[in-house]
Structure formats: C-alpha cells, structure tokens
C-alpha cells in the first residue's frame, strides 16, 4: 500500500523544519521506498511496515512538543506494487493518449 | 490520543453504508470510546489500540473490494484523557465566556 | 455536499480552543447545518456555501497566528440532502438488519 | 498558500487514472505551480486561485460519477512564497546541518 503522512507539531513555534528533518531521518533508515514533498512524506510498504514508521515519527515529535496533529491517507490496491512512481506514470500514459486523439 | 478515520471502498459502487456497518461493528467490539459521524468515526485510546482497530476495519473492507482509500487524522496531546466529549465542552466554555463579555 | 474541516493554528501555543470558538461562531452565523465534534466541524451546503464558510474560518485564524494548517474532507453525492443526520441513520438501519439475521 | 488535494471518484470502478488525467489537465491550464504525486496534486497560490482550481476538478469528476470524495490539506504561512520547492530545500538544509554535527 501507499501512504502520505504529515506530522504537525503544536506548541513548538511556527517553523517545523527541524521536526521534519527528524522524521525524514527515521523514514530513510526504514529502508522503505519514500518521497518527500512540500506537504508530507509518501511511503510504500505493507500496513505494519508503513504504520510502524509513522508511529516512530509521530512519537519522536511528541517527545519534543506537547501536542502533535498527524494526517495519514492510505491508498491500498489489490496486487499493486511499485506505485510510488507507477501511479504518476499511469496518469501520464492516459494524458498522452488523450492528446493523440 | 483521539483519532478520526474514514474508510472509502473503491470498486464496490457508490453506496458505502454496508461497509460502514461492518466497520462500526469492529469499533464497537473494541471496547474503546467512539463516536460515529456522517463523515467518519472518532475513536479514543493509545496508538496501538486505535491503530489496531483501524487496521482491522481497513482490512475487512479490502477483503470486500479491490481498492480502499483510508483517511486518518490524529490529535495527540500530553496528559489529555476523556477528550471525545472534553474537547467540545472546552470550546463551549470559551463560547460562553465570550458571550458574557 | 457534506464537509468536515479542522483548522490547526501554528505558532500560537498548544491550546487551540480560543481559535476554535471563533471558528464555531462564524459557522453558527452562516445559517448552514453543522455539527461540532472533538476532531473538527461538519457542515452541509453547496460548494460555494461550504467553502465560503471555511475560507472565513481559515482567514480569521491566520490573522491571529503566523501559520495555519487546514484539513478539509468533502463527500459529494448526487441528489443527496439532509445527510448530516441521514448518513448515520442509514448505517444504523443496516446494523439493525444485520442483527436481525 | 500551498495545498495538496486528492479527488476520489466513487461508483466508477477501481481504476481512477482516467479521472486523474482530467484533473491534471485543469490544474495544468490554471497556470499555477503544481506537482503531481502518487497520492495527490500539490498546488500553490492564494485561497481563491487554489480553491477555484480544486472546485473545477471536483465538479468535472462529479459529472462523470455519482459520488466524489475529496481531501484537501492547506499549509498557509505568512509571507511565504515559492514553497512548492522551498519547503523541501529547507528540510534538506537542516538535514545537512545535523549530519555535520
């Protein structure tokens, strides 16, 4: 499955990049495929792998600030793998087909 | 912590209430405090309790349809308990105070 | 359509109930059907009505703090009205039917 | 402000890439900075620009399927511009600094 998550620390000021850096470090060490965007982190794996990483990221942030707000979206499709790049390619194929018409 | 989650089944038609009923049944048997709204289910507990329930709900839906999209938001505040009703009361207190001014 | 939104103020401390009170006041004056939960506000109306209210709530919070994170989920179903209470009833009907079996 | 949105069509089968292609086309014609990921579309602009684009995308999908579920997350920071790439760079700077220590 594919997940996108954002961890928002409350009570630690408006800049969050120092917390994001800790989170990315955890994701990077997990060995899972991931992508960092301006609005969150995409990660691919099974439920326990993905949720294990998000739990660590959430907890490390909660130790630094008194309140954490976390948003997770999951897209889980039967038999689908390599979707971190595959989904974008699939849309690009459709776009090219449309243009050809 | 407090979580709100929605499980959206894809490839099973536009009506989702039969899937929602299965999800509510799992949440109800968990023993955790919860609230059903028109846009999702709120549940209160620690990370493993809450995520254990959401995992079960997600998986039972995925067995019925080929694709599932799940949205989870988490609000985790140090030392906070009984927030499923407590947070709404806290806002009501502020509203009453404002009106008195 | 039915929407659920949460407005998270950053850089204004960990307690958010004073901001939530302002938001509820705006939603209440809008005349739209709404419901306050521990994780957000549900509101029902067409796109412009709902988004007009959320925009006001987002902006009033942004004037008070330097950074705002807002999460909106929308469920838009053809011909559906009175869903703020209707969706929960629909699930309850399915649950009762299941139990009877 | 920076937004991430996903439009999930219900009642139109499990494959959503044909709908995503229409959405990307609308975003592309808007002239706003955007980025397509496997879990959504990031777009940068002011409230009316961003929400105008998302409304069009939501509505074009709703004309094709009977039910649409849309998720929007917004990060709005005072005085911040060029954040679609800027935020990732900011985190990378922190990561490099951490490694140096």
Question: CATH number of the domain that A16 lies in?
Answer: 3.30.70.930
Set of chain A residues whose Cβ sits within 8 Å of the Cβ of D90: 17
DSSP notation for D14-32: S--HHHHHHHHHHHHHH--
CB contact under 8 A, B14 and D71: no
Say if CB C43 and CB C27 are below 8 A apart: yes
Q: For position C11, what pLDDT does the model report?
A: 85
Quick one: average pLDDT of A44-71? 96
Number of domains observed in the structure of chain B: 1
Set of chain B residues whose Cβ sits within 8 Å of the Cβ of D67: 14
Nearest residue in C to A66, CA atom: C14
Q: For position C99, what pLDDT does the model report?
A: 54
DSSP structure class, residue B76: E
Q: How far is D101 from chain C (nearest CA, A)?
A: 27
Token output for D5: 């949105």
Between the CA atoms of B21, D70, B72 and A24, what dihedral angle is there, to the nearest 10 degrees? 150
Quick one: average pLDDT of C18-29? 90
pTM of the model: 0.90
Query: A91 CB contacts (<8 Å, ≥6 apart)?
Result: D17, D20, D21, D24, D36
Token output for A53: 């990483």
Distance CA B38, CA C83 (A): 7
Q: For position B69, what pLDDT does the model report?
A: 96
Whole-number CA gyration radius for chain C? 16
| Segment D21-69, tens digit of pLDDT | 889 999 999 999 999 999 999 999 999 999 999 999 999 999 999 999 9
Token output for A75: 């897209």
Residue ranges making up the domain that contains D53: 2-100
Q: For position D1, what pLDDT does the model report?
A: 94
- Please, what is the Cα angle at A74 between A52 and B85, to 5 degrees? 80
Q: For position D100, what pLDDT does the model report?
A: 56
Distance CA C85, CA C24 (A): 19
CB contact under 8 A, B76 and A66: no
Say if CB B69 and CB B62 are below 8 A apart: no
Distance CA D13, CA D19 (A): 11
| Segment B6-64, tens digit of pLDDT | 999 998 777 777 888 889 999 999 999 999 999 999 999 999 999 999 999 999 999 99
Question: Mean pLDDT, chain C, as a whole number?
Answer: 87
Residue A43: CB atoms within 10 Å = 25
Token output for B7: 């499980």
Distance CA A95, CA A88 (A): 11
Set of chain D residues whose Cβ sits within 8 Å of the Cβ of A20: 91, 94
| Segment C2-20, tens digit of pLDDT | 999 999 999 877 777 788 8
Q: What are phi and psi of D15, to 5 degrees?
A: -85, 130
Query: B80 CB contacts (<8 Å, ≥6 apart)?
Result: B86
- Please, what is the Cα angle at B40 between B36 and B44, to 5 degrees? 65
CB contact under 8 A, D74 and C66: no
């Amino acid at each position: 499955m594919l997940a996108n998550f954002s961890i928002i620390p409350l009570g630690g000021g408006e800049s969050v990049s120092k917390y994001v850096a800790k989170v990315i470090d955890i994701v990077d060490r997990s060995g899972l495929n991931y992508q960092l965007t301006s609005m969150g982190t995409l990660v691919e794996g099974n439920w326990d792998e993905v949720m294990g990483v998000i739990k660590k990221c959430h907890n490390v942030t909660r130790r630094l600030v008194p309140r954490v707000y976390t948003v997770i979206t999951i897209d889980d499709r039967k038999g689908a793998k390599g979707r971190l790049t595959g989904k974008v390619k699939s849309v690009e194929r459709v776009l090219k087909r449309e243009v050809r018409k």
